[in-house]
C-alpha cells in the first residue's frame, strides 16, 4: 500500500506520528508507520511565507553560509558565519525551542494551534533567543564581563551554540552579542522554513528618556562619560519574510525581529515582528514595537560638554545621522547590499519628512495637533549647531588602515571659513569604545594650539602608537579619537573619528581535493605581528559537513613575528558547498 499525504498550507508545523489502524474479522490492530515533520513552505504559493524568487529562496532558506558585518560606518568589517540549519539534530532543537517558549505568548501549548502562524512562531523564537528568564538560548554579559563564559566574539556559527543549549538542559549559553543572537535566530527561522537574513545598522541609538534623541556627554578633555544613553557603533537584528494576515497582507514582505534585549525606559525587551515598510512610512500604530524600531533608525544625535559635572552645553559639531547605513549580505554574493532605502526615505526628501512628522506625533502625543513648523522648531532647538556656523570646518581623515601592532596615523584637517585670524586651543584624546557604545579607558591625551589665517586650510598629522593603545584594546577593537576646543576660548568645537583596528588574518589552505568520505587535509597558518609575545593562543576550527564537532587547537605562546602552522585532517561526511572557518584568540583579543 502506498500512502500519500498532502498537508494543507495552514497545517501546524512540528513533528507528527503516522499510525495505521487495521480492522479484520472483528479485531482491530494499531501500527505506527513512523513519524514526519511539517514545516513552513516558501515554495508553496498558499503558504504565508511564500517567496516567488528562486534565487532569494536559495539565499534566505537554503544557504548555510552567511556573513556578519561589523565595525563602524566608515570602516565596515566582515566575518563569516555558519548557520548550519540542515545539520543533524538541529530541527529537533528548533522544535524544542518552540516547546520551551510556547507559554510566552499563549500560556498553554496543549493545542499547538498557533504553530501555523509565522507571526506567532517568530515572536516565540525572538523571545527565546535571549529574553526568556531561565531558558533563553544565550546570555549577553553584564558590564562586558565574560570571564565565566565564552568570549562573545569567538563563535563561528550557530550549531555549537544550539547544541550547547540543548545538551545543557536548556540553560542559557554564556556569552553572545547582537551578531550571534541575530545569527542563531536566522538559523532557527530558516530551519523552520521561514526565509530570513541578518541585518546590520551603523550608528544605532539606544536612548532611555527621549525616543528620538540620543545623548553623548564629553568632559573638557574629550573623554566620553558614561551616561544613560548609548550610541552603538553597530547593531545586528533579523529580518524574516512572511505575509502578515493580522495586517491584512496578501503577499509576503520583510518583517524586522530584534532578539537582543534593549533598554526602552520600561525595562529591556526584544522587538518585533515589525513590518519594515511601516517603519519607513512612520505608521507606528500599525504593528508591534513600531515606535522602537522607527526611533532606532531615525534618532537625532546630540553631543554635550559637561563642565564640573553640573553645567552641560551643546558644542559645534558635524554628526553622522543615526541609522543612515543598513546592510545585509547580497543574494548569491559575498558583497553587502545597502537596504537603507527599505527602512527610510532619502534624508531630507519630502516623503522622509512626512514619515518623520507622522511618527513624531505618535511618539509624542502632546504634538498630536502641532504643525510641521512647530515640530521643526522643536527639533532644531535640540540639535548641535554645525561646525560651519562657527566659521571653522574640521575633519579627521585616516592616513592608514591599522592592524594590531601598527601605529594609527591620522590627518587633522582644519579650514578657516572667515576673513579673520582664528586662534584656538584644542584638547585631544583617544579612548577605547565597545561596539555597544560603552566608554572604556582613555589612554592618550594631548593639547595643541592652532592658529589659522583668513581662509587658511591646515593639515596636522596625528600619530597614536601601538605601545599607547595596545595594552587597552583587548576584544574591543574600536578607538574613538576626539579633538575638542578649550571651553575657556569661547565657542566649543568638536570633531571625532571612530577607528577600527583590524585583526591579523588567519590563512586557510587546502592541501588536497575534498571528496565525500575521503580524508582531506588543510593547513591553517597565523603570524604574530606584534613586537611582543602572544600568550594563551587558541585556534578554533569549524566546518559544517566537514567536522562533526568544532576543533580547538592550543598553540601556547607565539613569539614576536613567529608563524604558527597547523595541519588538520577531516573527512567530509555530506555533499554540498562547505566552508572551513578558523578563529584565532589569545590574551590580547
Choose the catalytic residue: 178, 206, 537, 586: 178
Tell me: do 321 and 447 sit in the same domain. Answer: no
Q: Which of 380, 410, 431 is the last residue of a domain?
A: 380
- Please indicate, yes or no, if residue 243 is contained in any of the structural domains: yes
Range of the domain at 218: 54-380
Q: How far apart are the first and last CA of the chain?
A: 62
| Total residues belonging to the chain | 589
Tell me: do 493 and 517 sit in the same domain. Answer: no
Higher-confidence position of 248 and 236: 236
Tell me: do 410 and 516 sit in the same domain. Answer: no
Task: Quote the pLDDT of residue 309.
Answer: 65
pLDDT level of residue 241 (50, 70, 90 thresholds): very high
- Please indicate, yes or no, if residue 38 is contained in any of the structural domains: no
pLDDT level of residue 549 (50, 70, 90 thresholds): confident
Q: Which of 360, 380, 400 is the last residue of a domain?
A: 380
Question: C-alpha distances in angstroms, 386 versus 100, 222, 375, 390, 393?
Answer: 52, 18, 20, 7, 9
Pairing state between β 507-510 and 494-500: unpaired
- Please indicate, yes or no, if residue 161 is contained in any of the structural domains: yes
Note the pLDDT tens digit of each residue in 123-134.
Answer: 999 999 998 678
C-alpha span between 462 and 222 (Å, rounded) = 16
Instruction: Identify which of 94, 14, 54, 64 has the alpha carbon closest to the alpha carbon of residue 574.
Output: 64
The mean per-residue pLDDT over the stretch 66-86 comes to 95
Tell me: do 270 and 415 sit in the same domain. Answer: no
C-alpha span between 139 and 162 (Å, rounded) = 13
pLDDT level of residue 407 (50, 70, 90 thresholds): very high
Tell me: do 169 and 309 sit in the same domain. Answer: yes
Number of H helices, E strands in the chain: 11, 29
Task: Quote the pLDDT of residue 106.
Answer: 55
Catalytic residue check, 235: yes
Task: Quote the pLDDT of residue 482.
Answer: 97
Q: Provide the mean pLDDT of the chain.
A: 91
Task: Quote the pLDDT of residue 464.
Answer: 97
Note the pLDDT tens digit of each residue in 464-474.
Answer: 999 999 999 87
Task: Quote the pLDDT of residue 319.
Answer: 79
Catalytic residue check, 258: yes
Tell me: do 510 and 457 sit in the same domain. Answer: no
Choose the catalytic residue: 82, 120, 132, 235: 235
Residues 116-120: contacts with CB within 8 Å, 24+ apart? 116/10, 116/11, 116/12, 116/13, 117/48, 117/245, 118/40, 118/48, 118/49, 118/194, 118/240, 118/242, 119/242, 119/244, 119/245, 119/246, 119/255, 119/273
- Please indicate, yes or no, if residue 387 is contained in any of the structural domains: no
Task: Quote the pLDDT of residue 265.
Answer: 57
Tell me: do 557 and 433 sit in the same domain. Answer: no
Residues 330-337: contacts with CB within 8 Å, 24+ apart? 331/55, 331/56, 331/59, 332/55, 332/58, 332/59, 334/67, 336/67, 336/69, 336/76, 336/78
- Alpha-carbon dihedral 229, 232, 236, 238, rounded to 10 degrees: 20
Q: For the chain, what is the domain count?
A: 3
Tell me: do 150 and 96 sit in the same domain. Answer: yes
Residue 527 has pLDDT above 80, yes or no: yes
Tell me: do 224 and 345 sit in the same domain. Answer: yes
CATH number at residue 520: 2.60.40.10
Tell me: do 180 and 238 sit in the same domain. Answer: yes
Choose the catalytic residue: 117, 229, 258, 289: 258
pLDDT level of residue 59 (50, 70, 90 thresholds): very high
Cell numbers at 315, concatenated:
558644542
The mean per-residue pLDDT over the stretch 27-54 comes to 94
Question: Model pTM?
Answer: 0.94
Catalytic residue check, 191: no
SS3 content of the chain, % helix, strand, coil (to 5): 25, 40, 40
Percent of the chain with pLDDT over 90: 71
Task: Quote the pLDDT of residue 110.
Answer: 53
C-alpha span between 112 and 106 (Å, rounded) = 10
Q: Which of 348, 380, 412 is the last residue of a domain?
A: 380
Amino acid at each position: 500500500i502506498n500512502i500519500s499525504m498532502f498537508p494543507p498550507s495552514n497545517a501546524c508545523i512540528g513533528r507528527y506520528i503516522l499510525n495505521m489502524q487495521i480492522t479484520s474479522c472483528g479485531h482491530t490492530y494499531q501500527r505506527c508507520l513512523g513519524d514526519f515533520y511539517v514545516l513552513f513552505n516558501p515554495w508553496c504559493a498558499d503558504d504565508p511565507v511564500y517567496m516567488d524568487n528562486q534565487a532569494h529562496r536559495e539565499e534566505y532558506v537554503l544557504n548555510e553560509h552567511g556573513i556578519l558585518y561589523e565595525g563602524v560606518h566608515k570602516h565596515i568589517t566582515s566575518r563569516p558565519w555558519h548557520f548550519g540549519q540542515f545539520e543533524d539534530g538541529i530541527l529537533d532543537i528548533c522544535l524544542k525551542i518552540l516547546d520551551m517558549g510556547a507559554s510566552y505568548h499563549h500560556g498553554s501549548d496543549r493545542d499547538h494551534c498557533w504553530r501555523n502562524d509565522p507571526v506567532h512562531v517568530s515572536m516565540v523564537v525572538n523571545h527565546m533567543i535571549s529574553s526568556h528568564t531561565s531558558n533563553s538560548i544565550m546570555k549577553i554579559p553584564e558590564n562586558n564581563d565574560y570571564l565565566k563564559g565564552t568570549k562573545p566574539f569567538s563563535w563561528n556559527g550557530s550549531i555549537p551554540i544550539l547544541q550547547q543549549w540543548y545538551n545543557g538542559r536548556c540553560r542559557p549559553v554564556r556569552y553572545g552579542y547582537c551578531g550571534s543572537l541575530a545569527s542563531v535566530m536566522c538559523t532557527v527561522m530558516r530551519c523552520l522554513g521561514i526565509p530570513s537574513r541578518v541585518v546590520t545598522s551603523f550608528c544605532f541609538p539606544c536612548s532611555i528618556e527621549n525616543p528620538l534623541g540620543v545623548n553623548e556627554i564629553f568632559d573638557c578633555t574629550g573623554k566620553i562619560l558614561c551616561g544613560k544613553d548609548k550610541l552603538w557603533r553597530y547593531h545586528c537584528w533579523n529580518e524574516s519574510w512572511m505575509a502578515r494576515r493580522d495586517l491584512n497582507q496578501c503577499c509576503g514582505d520583510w518583517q524586522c525581529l530584534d532578539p537582543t534585549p534593549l533598554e526602552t525606559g520600561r525595562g529591556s525587551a526584544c522587538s518585533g515582528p515589525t513590518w519594515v515598510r511601516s517603519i519607513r512610512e512612520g505608521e507606528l500604530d500599525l504593528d508591534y514595537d513600531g515606535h522602537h524600531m522607527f526611533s532606532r533608525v531615525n534618532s537625532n544625535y546630540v553631543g554635550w560638554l559637561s563642565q564640573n559635572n553640573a553645567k552641560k552645553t551643546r558644542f559645534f559639531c558635524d554628526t553622522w545621522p543615526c541609522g543612515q547605513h543598513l546592510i545585509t549580505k547580497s543574494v548569491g554574493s559575498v558583497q553587502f547590499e545597502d537596504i537603507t532605502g527599505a527602512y527610510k526615505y532619502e534624508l531630507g526628501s519630502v516623503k522622509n519628512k512626512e514619515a518623520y512628522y507622522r511618527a513624531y506625533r505618535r511618539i509624542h502625543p502632546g504634538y498630536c495637533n502641532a504643525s510641521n513648523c512647530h515640530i521643526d522648531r522643536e527639533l532644531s532647538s535640540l540639535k548641535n549647531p554645525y561646525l560651519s556656523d562657527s566659521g571653522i570646518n574640521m575633519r579627521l581623515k585616516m592616513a592608514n588602515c591599522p592592524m594590531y601592532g601598527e601605529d594609527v596615523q591620522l590627518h587633522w584637517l582644519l579650514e578657516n571659513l572667515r576673513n579673520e585670524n582664528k586662534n584656538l586651543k584644542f584638547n585631544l584624546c583617544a579612548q577605547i569604545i565597545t561596539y555597544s557604545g560603552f566608554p572604556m579607558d582613555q589612554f592618550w591625551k594631548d593639547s595643541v594650539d592652532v592658529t589659522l589665517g583668513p581662509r587658511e586650510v591646515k593639515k596636522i598629522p596625528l600619530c597614536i602608537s601601538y605601545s599607547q593603545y595596545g595594552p587597552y584594546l583587548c576584544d574591543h577593537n574600536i578607538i574613538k579619537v576626539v579633538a575638542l576646543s578649550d571651553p575657556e576660548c569661547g565657542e566649543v568645537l568638536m570633531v571625532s573619528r571612530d577607528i577600527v583596528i583590524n585583526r591579523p588574518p588567519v590563512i586557510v589552505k587546502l592541501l588536497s581535493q575534498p571528496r565525500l568520505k575521503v580524508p582531506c587535509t588543510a593547513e591553517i597558518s597565523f603570524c604574530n605581528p606584534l613586537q611582543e609575545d602572544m600568550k594563551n593562543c587558541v585556534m578554533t576550527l569549524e566546518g559544517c559537513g566537514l567536522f562533526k564537532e568544532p576543533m580547538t587547537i592550543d598553540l601556547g605562546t607565539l613569539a614576536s613575528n613567529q608563524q604558527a602552522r597547523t595541519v588538520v585532517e577531516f573527512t567530509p561526511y555530506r555533499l554540498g558547498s562547505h566552508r572551513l572557518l578558523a578563529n584565532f584568540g589569545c590574551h590580547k583579543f
